[in-house]
Structure 1
Amino acid sequence: MTGDLAFIPLGGTGEIGLNFNVYRCDGQLLAVDCGLGFGGPEHPEVEVMVPDPSWLVARRDRLVGLVITHAHEDHIGAVAHLWPQLRCPIHAGPFVSAVLRRKLGEAGLLGQVEIITQAPGSRWTVAPFDLEFLRVAHSVPEAQALAIRTRHGTVLHTGDWKLDPNPLIGPPTDEAAFARLGEEGVLAMVGDSTNALVEGHSGSEAEVRRNLAAIIRKLKGRVAVACFATNVARVESVALAARAAGRECALFGRSLRNAEAAARECGYLRDLPPFLTEEQAGDVPDSKLVMICTGSQGEPRSALAKIAGDTHPHVSLGEGDTVIFSSRMIPGNERAILRIQDELARAGVEVMTADDHMVHVSGHPARDELKRLYGLVKPKYAVPVHGEWRHMNEHANLAESLGAEAYVIEDGDVLRLAPGTPDVVEAAPVGRLAVDGHRLLPLDGELLAARKKMLFNGVVVASLAVDGAGRVLGKPQISAPGLFDGTDDEPAQIAADLARAMGDLPAPMKREDGTLREAARSAVRKAVGRRLRKRPSVEVHLLRV
């Protein structure tokens, strides 16, 4: 449809992470953010997921650009995976551009992508969209809300934001700019719902800095702090706390080193000396070391996961040491985080979290901050995003109480904002793709379904040789890792069952390889099922000699 203004979320609406949004104006398309998510307990066969861009790729000739609001993984992490299909210019602030160049360089794409760096608070045009960045405080430098002016009206896409009077790195949220936009008139505000259930205020980064300094000063032994790599203010706070306690500070994890390089490139952290490397940290006395680590969300390949599992090549933690989780649990990651915390506790490490110490504040607005922004912007319509259903419903109720007409939608809904009253006029197909090395696999496809089945039911490989008439030669071999160990005699019994089943087949079936292979697969599956009450994936290697 042409001649309208529509909002089309392809990820991040009704869920945490995977933020991927599209605005349509008179047939032209603008994408905003392109983030990833984690598999979690719902998808144990998957570590990282990205939104399925198929709907947008099919309309790539009308895609005028991609705007990235800030450098968190749930808003930027899918760019390197999806850009080869989108192939559009990317507009971003200086810090996002610095982070993105490193990501694209690692993916071998840097020379292909047009990155247009826009100054914080700047205004530019990508026809038919008139775009303006509005500075907001968040737990990453240079986060921006995006004002999208069109002939149909203005939409404010808030991105992630909060009201922090002292965010430490970068200026506070530009409330005057939001007030000016409100006076100009805002048709719709598409806004962050993460903390819509939280009363009061999200708190200040400055308070965390004070508390970390006080906590680290009193600790003995080695200290490790886990936080988001791009939370540059938090990294700086830990480094300053270490210095005040007479300790040296090291970075553990590639994403932290990349974020540090991007931050220094943009003029941040200039008052701090270079961090120690992981190798150098191993030579520092225990009482003189603070480590900043990746792994606050329980990522299995992160530095903290290796330390907790005692597999890190340079350091270990034990009795008398402390790990501070200076972050929140992203929904879906609870089990992985708690597993790491339990491994640390088992080794005698003291674990501190935001549940019992003031070592983290959220980067998202609580209810008092939402009320303040609605008072400044005065949108006609509110569209809650960036949250699960309970967050978005509560955001909608709050918006209605403040005079806005709220619309709660989900991924794939095409919400026409103008002309006329907002309405969901069509549906775009949406889904998730699993990142599997350099491949993107459909989450509901055959490959991942087979992998999930193998995860829970195991896999059995049967190898057998037959002659031209289909008679079994020698003894079939059965391999079933994860189902039987080396002392079990069941594999030999299953091999005998397989040989008998092959011998009982009618002669014509034995002459067809495909038929013979399927009969062998069925015989092995039944034999395992009788013994284990499982239905494993069965692969048959058939050799006819």
Structure 2
Amino acid sequence: MTRERLIYMPLGGAGEIGMNAYVYGYGAPGAERLILVDLGVAFPDMESTPGVDLIMPDMNWLIERADRLEAIFVTHAHEDHIGGIAHFYRALGAPIHARAFTANIARGKMVEHGHPPEAIVTVSAWPETVAAGPFTVGFLPISHSIPESAALVIDTPVGRLIHTGDFKLDPTPLVGEAFDPELWVDVARDGVKALICDSTNVFSPHPGRSEASLGPAIETLVERAEGMVVATTFASNVARVKTLAEAGQRAGRSIVLLGRAMRRMIEASAETGVLNNFPQVVSAEEARDLPRDSVMLLVTGSQGERRAASAQLARGKYQGLELKEGDLFLFSSKTIPGNERGVIRIMNALSEKGVDVVDDDTGQYHVSGHANRPDLERIHDIVNPEILIPMHGEHRHLREHVKLAGSRGMQGVLAVNGTMVDLTDVKAKVVDYVETGRSYLDGSVLIGAMDGVVRDRIRMALNGHVTATIILDEEDEPLGDPWCEIMGLPDSGKSNAPLVEVLEADIGQFLSRANEKTLASDATLTESLRRTVRQSAQNEIGRKPEVTVVISRMR
């Protein structure tokens, strides 16, 4: 009889920050029944993914085994954990379980993509559980920077697992549940086989600070401001948005919410009962008629997003509102690595307007939603697992977390995306590696990282593009002159002649020398013309462009 096993395998989120997707399975090798924890996205940049709308984990391994997928569980409503749900719903087809606030956000995404909202199942917090094949799963409340975050208690035939999701140990989060150490002690009392744990802030040596600690500094800043005040933060950080709004209200200012995501998060929080007594807001239209020193805008775009409210205010007007000299703009957020250029661009544009920009360099106006190293050590002590598997972090974070586990007498397992770990026995072991990568949402189409679309787009961005067109008659002889069109290239080069004319002349010379065999073969002629154009451009402008050859034959 084949021995059954318990496996864990990340498809995204382990070795990177974003695109979280974690598979658990139990059963005979190759026939395990599966569950998926989270299905998130990451956001593109113009350098590595030009034109792409979203980046998602490569889910092909799981899609090929969708008949074995029992359910999907979503820990919280951040995009890097929930953003891919609607995009992969048809391919995976499993019921999706989440707590009320997360379910509210997920249903909105499903409706936008034409999927049934009832595919999202609302689950109450622990001790309520959901049966999913060989697994029993419960949502264990934990504090984070978004309401109703939860770790997952995953009971299996060979022991209990705890998947932390994103978390911090905050006794006063203002919105959502506080960290309850007694509840966690109780859940871990009978033993935990493995703790699959957030690693984001493993290098931060000081204990994390509470969300409630920010209020006084923000209130002082807003109270002293003389012109209009604008503040941006993560739209999902409902507690921070409320803190900012209350600071503005106490300073006698009318509050305006700008940005679809921010309004949506506040609405979802109110609809699900996690947010009460949010200050009254006014519309942008109403704010235009108020004195500038009595208005506070809370806006999206803390990460430099070009289409968000922050960027549009930096460029000019947004919904009729405009920033002027003497106004104050607060970034109550941390810039995610990779977003620095976009944020700095906005800060400089605001500065050029005479706006005073305040960021969180001093640590007064933002606290992280992730557990720092001392908090990770505390959760290790509470759970006391046999095995610790770091997740949610770059490779350096995971490796450091494994070292931390070892220093504290725990078995640590480094499992990056695609690593299948067998957790059945006391000692975990890596049993397989699966090819993983990325998929891209490009407009309305999902494309694979190996499809070449993004690669070709990068090449065109780096090198420019030439379209070379020729016409051949019935005898395979050139008919008329060739012509070229260029994009992303200078009009002229070393010779000071128009680049198009230089390229056309060199193509003409090649055609005049080409033999009958070359002229008769589209493939040979295309490659020869491509090389001719690239070499001609290299001589003229020092660059080899991408080339498209169009051959028309009069037959």
Correspondence for 1:43: 48
Contact 1:471 1:503 survives alignment (8 Å): no
SS in 1 for 2:189: helix
Structure 1 pair 284–409 and aligned structure 2 pair: CA distance change class (3 A)? same
Residue 528 of structure 1 and its aligned partner are, at CA, apart by 1.4
Counterpart AA for 2:262: L
Q: Give the counterpart of 2:541 among 526, 532, 535.
A: 532
The 5 A counterparts of 1:494-533 are 494-533=503-542
Structure 1 pair 542–343 and aligned structure 2 pair: CA distance change class (3 A)? farther
Q: Give the counterpart of 1:191 among 188, 197, 204.
A: 197
Correspondence for 1:9: 10
- Describe the superposition over 1:84-118 as per-residue Cα deviations: whole angstroms up to 9, x where unpaired: 2111100000000111111112222235x611100
The answer to whether residue 134 in structure 2 is matched with residue 141 in structure 1 is: no
Q: Give the counterpart of 2:500 among 491, 498, 504.
A: 491
- Describe the superposition over 1:362-395 as per-residue Cα deviations: whole angstroms up to 9, x where unpaired: 0111122112212211111111111112222222
Counterpart AA for 2:15: G
- Describe the superposition over 1:239-268 as per-residue Cα deviations: whole angstroms up to 9, x where unpaired: 111211222222222222221221121124
CA distance in 2, matches of 1:290, 1:438: 36
- Describe the superposition over 1:307-333 as per-residue Cα deviations: whole angstroms up to 9, x where unpaired: 223374533334222221111122222
Deviates more, 1:387-396 or 1:50-59: 387-396
Contact 1:134 1:174 survives alignment (8 Å): no
CA distance in 2, matches of 1:282, 1:506: 73
Counterpart AA for 1:222: M
Counterpart AA for 1:117: T
TM-score (norm 2): 0.92
Counterpart AA for 2:42: G
RMSD, matched Cα: 2.2
Residue 219 of structure 1 and its aligned partner are, at CA, apart by 1.3
SS in 2 for 1:290: strand
CA distance in 1, matches of 2:504, 2:380: 70
Counterpart AA for 2:122: T
Correspondence for 1:237: 243
The answer to whether residue 114 in structure 2 is matched with residue 108 in structure 1 is: yes
CA distance in 2, matches of 1:275, 1:468: 74
Counterpart AA for 1:32: V
Correspondence for 2:444: 438
State the identity as a percent.
37
Deviates more, 1:142-151 or 1:347-356: 347-356
SS in 1 for 2:213: helix
- Describe the superposition over 1:34-84 as per-residue Cα deviations: whole angstroms up to 9, x where unpaired: 111123476242452100001111111110000000011111111122222
Deviates more, 1:339-348 or 1:288-297: 339-348
Contact 1:478 1:495 survives alignment (8 Å): yes
SS in 2 for 1:34: coil
Structure 1 pair 398–519 and aligned structure 2 pair: CA distance change class (3 A)? closer
Deviates more, 1:318-327 or 1:338-347: 338-347
CA distance in 1, matches of 2:167, 2:497: 58
Contact 1:40 1:47 survives alignment (8 Å): no
SS in 2 for 1:483: coil
CA distance in 2, matches of 1:542, 1:221: 64
CA distance in 2, matches of 1:385, 1:41: 27
CA distance in 2, matches of 1:335, 1:140: 26
Residue 184 of structure 1 and its aligned partner are, at CA, apart by 1.3
Counterpart AA for 2:82: I
SS in 1 for 2:143: coil
Correspondence for 2:138: 132
CA distance in 2, matches of 1:411, 1:219: 47
The answer to whether residue 485 in structure 2 is matched with residue 479 in structure 1 is: yes
CA distance in 1, matches of 2:367, 2:124: 27
The 5 A counterparts of 1:33-72 are 33-40=38-45, 43-45=48-50, 46-72=52-78
CA distance in 2, matches of 1:87, 1:200: 43
Contact 1:468 1:511 survives alignment (8 Å): no
The 5 A counterparts of 1:168-187 are 168-187=174-193
CA distance in 1, matches of 2:443, 2:214: 37
Correspondence for 1:120: 125
Q: What count of residue pairs does the alignment treat as equivalent?
A: 544
Structure 1 pair 255–382 and aligned structure 2 pair: CA distance change class (3 A)? same
Q: Give the counterpart of 2:355 among 336, 349, 359.
A: 349
Deviates more, 1:300-309 or 1:7-16: 300-309
Contact 2:142 2:149 survives alignment (8 Å): yes
The answer to whether residue 262 in structure 2 is matched with residue 261 in structure 1 is: no
Structure 1 pair 538–275 and aligned structure 2 pair: CA distance change class (3 A)? farther
- Describe the superposition over 1:156-206 as per-residue Cα deviations: whole angstroms up to 9, x where unpaired: 101111111110012211211210122111011000111111112111111
Residue 429 of structure 1 and its aligned partner are, at CA, apart by 1.8
Deviates more, 1:313-322 or 1:204-213: 313-322
CA distance in 2, matches of 1:325, 1:424: 43
The 5 A counterparts of 1:195-234 are 195-234=201-240
CA distance in 1, matches of 2:536, 2:97: 59
Counterpart AA for 2:44: G
CA distance in 1, matches of 2:110, 2:320: 29
TM-score (norm 1): 0.94
- Segments of structure 1 that go 5 or more residues without pairing to the other structure are none
Correspondence for 2:336: 330
Structure 1 pair 344–516 and aligned structure 2 pair: CA distance change class (3 A)? same
Contact 2:200 2:397 survives alignment (8 Å): yes
Counterpart AA for 1:210: P
Contact 1:41 1:332 survives alignment (8 Å): no
Q: Give the counterpart of 2:33 among 28, 33, 47.
A: 28
CA distance in 2, matches of 1:61, 1:428: 19
CA distance in 1, matches of 2:551, 2:321: 48
The answer to whether residue 284 in structure 2 is matched with residue 275 in structure 1 is: no
